Amino acid sequence: MSADQINFKELKEHVSLHQAKDFLGLSWTQKGGEFRTKCPACNRGDDRCLVVTVSGEKTGFSCWASTHKGVDGKLKPEHSGDQLALVAHVKQVTVRRAAEMLVDHFGNPKKLERAVNQALKDRGIAALDHLEFDHKVLGLAGMPADVCTALGLGYSKRGPMAGRVCVPIRMDDGTLVGYCGLAISPDEDVPFIFHKSVIEQVQAILSSPKKDEIATPEAKRAMFKVV
């Protein structure tokens, strides 16, 4: 994905100057809201020439390894700016590439979580919509209707589980893969039956990408795509 598709404004709202500073992995000397170190990108300057100010009226970075005179006659740093400019200067890359690096590292937790959850949600099966959570047999078993509703446990009045109490079967992440139908009549030859798709569902999930595999750098970049 090209960096010109990244929403820079949203990225800077998500990744602070302080986080960008820490991302660089440099050893800083702190005084209040100001951090100083030697600039690894410049071949001159002392160990305090790279300055990052994270609080106060003027936040940003400046590198005093190279200076020039401003229109007011005062010395100005040759390089300065926001968190993107900081990463671009230290890493000696373009601002666009710096944006990609920050996105790859930080992602966007909220959007990424939604994307991952949707990918996980697409697995498994939909809950049966015809179960009766207040059926009398459940009441006789001491199971209140509100509890049964919360658990998704109910009496099935149609389909392959008709006449049975359906108990949902879920993976450890909550994905529904099927039901176990418990007989309520002594005339039933088989006391419990399973959805035929349970085994296939479980095997498919076990072979599908895990949550951390879904959250790839490409997925993180997509979180900042301009739409």
Domain range annotation of the chain: 3-116, 136-206
pLDDT digits (tens, 9 = 90+) for 155-202: 999 888 899 999 999 888 788 888 999 999 888 888 988 877 787 777
Distances (CA, A) of 128 to 124, 195, 225: 12, 12, 36
Any idea which of 118-132, 170-184, 208-222 has the lowest mean pLDDT?
Answer: 208-222
- pTM of the complete model: 0.51
Q: Which amino acid is at 166?
A: C
Pick the closest to residue 187 from 155, 158, 164, 213 (CA basis): 164
The token pair that represents 146 in the structure block: 């509100």
CA dist list (Å): 33 to 17, 52, 78: 11, 8, 22
Q: Which CATH architecture has domain 3-116?
A: Alpha-Beta Complex (3.90)
What integer pLDDT is reported at residue 226 of this predicted model?
A: 45
Q: Given a cut of 70, is residue 110 above it in pLDDT?
A: no
**CATH 3.90.980.10 at 136-206, yes or no:** yes
> pLDDT tens for residues 126-146?
788 899 999 999 998 899 999
Q: Please state, in angstroms and rounded to a whole number, the distance separating the CA atoms of residues 115 and 211.
A: 10
- What mean pLDDT is predicted for residues 5-21? 87
Q: Which pLDDT value is given to residue 3?
A: 43
The predicted pLDDT at position 9 comes to 86
- Asked if 51 and 31 count as a contact pair (C-beta separation under 8 A), the reply is no
pLDDT tens per residue across span 45-103: 788 999 999 988 789 999 999 999 988 889 999 999 999 999 999 999 999 999 989 98
